[in-house]
Structure 1
């Protein structure tokens, strides 16, 4: 699932290429992705892009007097032009569910590689008209994210740390991969409840929540969008590394079931040797 560092890099690239360019055509092949049926993306044709920004894991084209908000879901992404090669050596490129063409012969394909449609599009007057945007919590990627913002998400919560990190109404933009990375960097058990943490542990978690996300955003800046997914995978310390040696000790990274997916952790570094 795309998370805030990669979506920020995507939004920055879109902003650089599309700003002040008019939308000239829209071809939607999968109409289930459109969530505002009374306002189709085609109504934006002829309008120019003022900016492209990020809200959590979503990006937002400010176009004319409206906003085209895109949620990439679990398997969604974007690519420039026709036939742009993916960087993961996959034999078959992900299918395009919608194509947006802009003046200057610029084409943006919205793709989805999953077994179900996870992409969503809204055409709204303001991004906050999208419920999932309006419900976002504070974003640890931004400079004005404070310790008070963090404490409001964690302090006293009888909820597992990993679940809180992925809870978009508490903290925006973090998913399965970066929650694993944050908890490893903070050397914290992913399933312990936030209410059980001491002051020093909360301090570490705050520092790593902001540090991991901001460092990843800096590292992804300027990487072509066709290479962002591979760059994310390559940068992971524990996520997706089950069975490999821990980068912080002599133990082995392990899997555990979390929600509808799997996550990774180091028993020696994070759980006192307990196998989850």
Structure 2
């Protein structure tokens, strides 16, 4: 799943390409992906893209009426003159494909799954398009079209952004004051926005903290080390990802990972073998020497061998 660094870079790439362009075409390929009905998706046609940004793991496209085009709303649909946001969550298997032209009026048939397609035209006549695609069996990509970001429940519930200046060490200490495993806490979007399975592994490894440690029991020194690791890992990943086109970002994420999805490889810090704990629908990776005092964590698949 794309996390804060990839979504930040993806939003920046789209903003550079689409800001100022007018939406010329909207096609919904999967009705279940569209989670809202008011305003209707057809009302986006004729609106201008003001900006593309990010909140948590969500891509946020802000559109405004195009003052240069009379009657920018579609026929029979009122435009109150305010902004309308297109909010996309790519979920586990979603991604964005960028096109150099308007998408065809009819989505092509084939094996590719396209949840939605948007076409854009700039003032100079240049065209562009994007497709929201999703791989895998579970279709969880979501698309909201709303007048306020707070109208998307998952966005309204998001916690603070971990790289914001306002998210200080003291604010982080308050978040950690919970009897919850620190791995799960870092991934809880209601507590901290934008961190998922991959970067929580990387942060905990950099901070030398066990993923099973209880957050409220961490001492002041460990808390400060974890806070610094969070800011450094995410900040470095954002810097590494910026400027890459969407098709390269997934590979870039894999390349910079030190422990996540590297079970069986040598830890780049101490040389010990990176281990894995599997769950029903995910897995975590860690270094025993760096994070757990050399002791393997219990894994339901292998615990019987560790007694």
Q: TM-score, normalised by structure 1?
A: 0.93
C-alpha distance after superposition, 1:182-212 (max 9, x if no partner): 0000000001101221111101001011111
Aligned to 2:304: none
Q: CA deviation at 1:37?
A: 2.8
The farther-off stretch of 259-268 and 35-44 is 35-44
Q: Which runs of 5+ in 1 are unaligned?
A: 84-91
C-alpha distance after superposition, 1:73-124 (max 9, x if no partner): 11111011179xxxxxxxx995322111001320101111121211101111
Report whether the alignment pairs 1:72 with 2:90. yes
* Structure 1 residues 169 and 268, CA gap change in structure 2 (3 angstroms): same
RMSD: 1.6
Q: CA deviation at 1:42?
A: 2.0
The question of whether the paired residues in 1 share the 8 Å contact of 2:169 and 2:224 is answered with no
C-alpha distance after superposition, 1:163-190 (max 9, x if no partner): 0000001100000000000000000000
The question of whether the paired residues in 1 share the 8 Å contact of 2:100 and 2:128 is answered with no
Q: CA deviation at 1:27?
A: 1.2
The question of whether the paired residues in 2 share the 8 Å contact of 1:3 and 1:174 is answered with yes
* Aligned residue among 149, 155, 161 for 2:171: 149
Aligned to 1:132: 154
Distance 2:295 2:45 in 1: 57
Aligned to 1:200: 221
For the pair shown, which has the larger CA radius of gyration, 1 or 2? 2
Aligned to 1:268: 289
Report whether the alignment pairs 1:101 with 2:122. no
The question of whether the paired residues in 1 share the 8 Å contact of 2:38 and 2:146 is answered with no
Aligned to 1:235: 256
Q: CA deviation at 1:259?
A: 6.1
The question of whether the paired residues in 1 share the 8 Å contact of 2:117 and 2:130 is answered with yes
The question of whether the paired residues in 2 share the 8 Å contact of 1:28 and 1:99 is answered with yes
Aligned to 2:5: 5
SS where residue 180 of structure 2 aligns?
coil
Report whether the alignment pairs 1:122 with 2:144. yes
The question of whether the paired residues in 2 share the 8 Å contact of 1:3 and 1:175 is answered with yes
Report whether the alignment pairs 1:172 with 2:190. no
Aligned to 1:87: none
Q: How many residues matched?
A: 267
Structure 1 runs (4+) greater than 3 angstroms displaced: none
Q: CA deviation at 1:146?
A: 1.1
